[in-house]
Amino acid sequence: MSTTRSSVTPISENAFDIARRQFDIAADLLHLDSNLRAVLRNCKRELTVNFPVKMDDGSIRVFQGYRVQHNIARGPAKGGLRFHPSVSLDEVRALAMWMTWKCAVVGIPFGGAKGGVICDPKRLSTSELENLTRRFATEISLLIGPDRDIPAPDVNTSPQIMSWFMDTYSMAVGHSVPAVVTGKPQSVGGSEGRMEATARGAVDVIQEFAKQRQFTLNGARVVIQGFGNVGSPLASFLQNLGCRVVGVAEENGAIYNPRGFDASRLRLYKRETGSIVGFNGSDPVYPVGVLELPCDILIPAALEGQITQRNADRIKARLVVEAANGPTTPEADAILGERGVVVVPDILCNAGGVTVSYFEWVQDLQSFFWDEDEVNQRLQKVMSRAYQSVARTADDHNVSLRTAAHILAISRVADATRTRGIFP
């Protein structure tokens, strides 16, 4: 299998190690006792599967995939499925842990999980992708269920893939179970507003931040790394607020225009050509360099491990908004902090996706569906409340927004664990 390396491929830092170091910083400040620390530093369940998939040419290929549940103290496990060549067990563990904190930060009643398959979906036909999804769904079904563990989209997984997942699970149990997965198309129980939810939630947080810290959004220059499910709608939302999107990067190239792009035309161009490269009025730039372009707001919206000690001192933005999970290493956090660059952390900033996933799950369980305005209003309420709590915690403890978000999340999960007690 090909493993094309690109600018948005994570570098050598181990994501799980990073997630644990972030945990330790907050746990120290919380004086968390060593027993709870041991429980929360580890993932509760880890399943590795090697499974065969029938390819179009008649051959059989074996893929490796994972489903990891980090913690279920506050509710069923929740988190996306990622299809990418760089997926690894440690990456999935880190992403599962971050899901636990993310759900706790925004106060939705889920624990954290994540799944992934090592594959390059761009090199699979639609039927191969469907075969892979259905077989993977079957393999991990011993952990999955609407009140146990509810997957969702993540990198390279779509509403169609969620629909195949839901159908496979439903066929096995003999009736439709829409609440087993979120991020589905609306025709099979998906929620209004789920597609743009991560981007919308990030904008809600950016607006709260701007209001509180007198950060002017009108005219602010924005650079976005990643132009997929999150980065692409985010560009439009920010443009509507008066921001200028001056740089965009993707796996296969990056573009720059200091005067700013028309986000909706760029999205259309990508839909038509499959890429942002060559967009009218843009200069090509190296994707690696895009993070260092002059701008006010830098938004990593691709993979983890992008802002490290190697490039943190060259970041020109005043504000880093983590639409991706885990884009900044702890070393880079320290460098950015010293330089006065504010980082709005992933577990707060990109929680809009799982929040509307929660709304979707609730709607599926009740078979009662809300209109888009209701979804967006409820989302806005959740995100702004979460931002306020994190900002207050940051002030109280005199720490970064990331550490504050971890303090808040870890104390909520620790509290649930203590209250339930350790059995037997």
Among 80, 116, 178, 345, binds ligand GLU (CB under 6 A): 80
**Per CB under 6 A, 354 contacts ligand GLU:** yes
Q: What is the enclosing helix (H) or strand (E) of 118? A: strand 111-118
| Reduced DSSP (H G I as helix, E B as strand, rest coil) percent helix, strand, coil of the chain, to 5 | 45, 15, 35
Q: Where are the alpha helices (DSSP H) in 214-262?
A: 231-240
Q: Which is nearer to ligand GLU, 22 or 239 (CB)?
A: 22
**Per CB under 6 A, 353 contacts ligand GLU:** yes
Between residue 90 and residue 119, which ones bind ligand GLU under the rule CB under 6 A? none
Contacting residues for 248 by C-beta, under 8 A, at least 6 apart: 223, 224, 225, 227, 231, 235, 254, 255, 261, 266, 276, 290
Q: Where are the alpha helices (DSSP H) in 274-351?
A: 330-338, 346-349
**Per CB under 6 A, 79 contacts ligand GLU:** yes
Closest CB 158 distance from ligand GLU, rounded Å:
12
Phi, psi for residue 325 in degrees, rounded to 5: -90, 130
Q: Which is nearer to ligand GLU, 100 or 350 (CB)?
A: 350
Identify whether 114 is a catalytic site residue: yes
Q: Which is nearer to ligand GLU, 79 or 305 (CB)?
A: 79
Q: What is the enclosing helix (H) or strand (E) of 117? A: strand 111-118
Contacting residues for 186 by C-beta, under 8 A, at least 6 apart: 192
Q: Is the Cα torsion angle 326, 330, 336, 341 positive or negative in sign?
A: positive
- Within its chain, how far is the Cα of 147 from the centroid? 22
**Per CB under 6 A, 154 contacts ligand GLU:** yes
**Per CB under 6 A, 131 contacts ligand GLU:** no
Q: Which is nearer to ligand GLU, 201 or 253 (CB)?
A: 201
Angle (nearest 5°) at CA 335 between 329 and 339: 140
Assess contact for 349 and 193: CB atoms under 8 A: no
Among the candidate windows 2-10, 16-24, 43-51, 78-86, which touches ligand GLU by CB under 6 A? 78-86
Among the candidate windows 45-53, 57-65, 141-149, 346-354, which touches ligand GLU by CB under 6 A? 346-354
Q: Residue 283 forms beta bridges with which residues?
A: 256
d(C-alpha 297, C-alpha 319), whole Å: 5
**Per CB under 6 A, 325 contacts ligand GLU:** yes
Among 182, 282, 328, 403, binds ligand GLU (CB under 6 A): 182
**Per CB under 6 A, 163 contacts ligand GLU:** no
**Per CB under 6 A, 350 contacts ligand GLU:** yes
- Within its chain, how far is the Cα of 415 from the centroid? 25
- Within its chain, how far is the Cα of 211 from the centroid? 24
Closest CB 161 distance from ligand GLU, rounded Å:
12
**Per CB under 6 A, 152 contacts ligand GLU:** yes
Closest CB 65 distance from ligand GLU, rounded Å:
16
Among the candidate windows 31-39, 44-52, 77-85, 132-140, which touches ligand GLU by CB under 6 A? 77-85
Among the candidate windows 45-53, 74-82, 166-174, 337-345, which touches ligand GLU by CB under 6 A? 74-82
Q: What is the enclosing helix (H) or strand (E) of 83? A: strand 81-84
Among 20, 78, 270, 402, binds ligand GLU (CB under 6 A): 78
Among the candidate windows 61-69, 75-83, 124-132, 385-393, which touches ligand GLU by CB under 6 A? 75-83
Assess contact for 297 and 321: CB atoms under 8 A: yes
Between residue 210 and residue 249, which ones bind ligand GLU under the rule CB under 6 A? none
Q: Catalytic: which of 44, 114, 184, 270?
A: 114
**Per CB under 6 A, 300 contacts ligand GLU:** no
Active site residue ranges? 114
Interface with ligand GLU (CB under 6 A): 78-80, 152, 154, 182, 325, 350, 353-354, 357
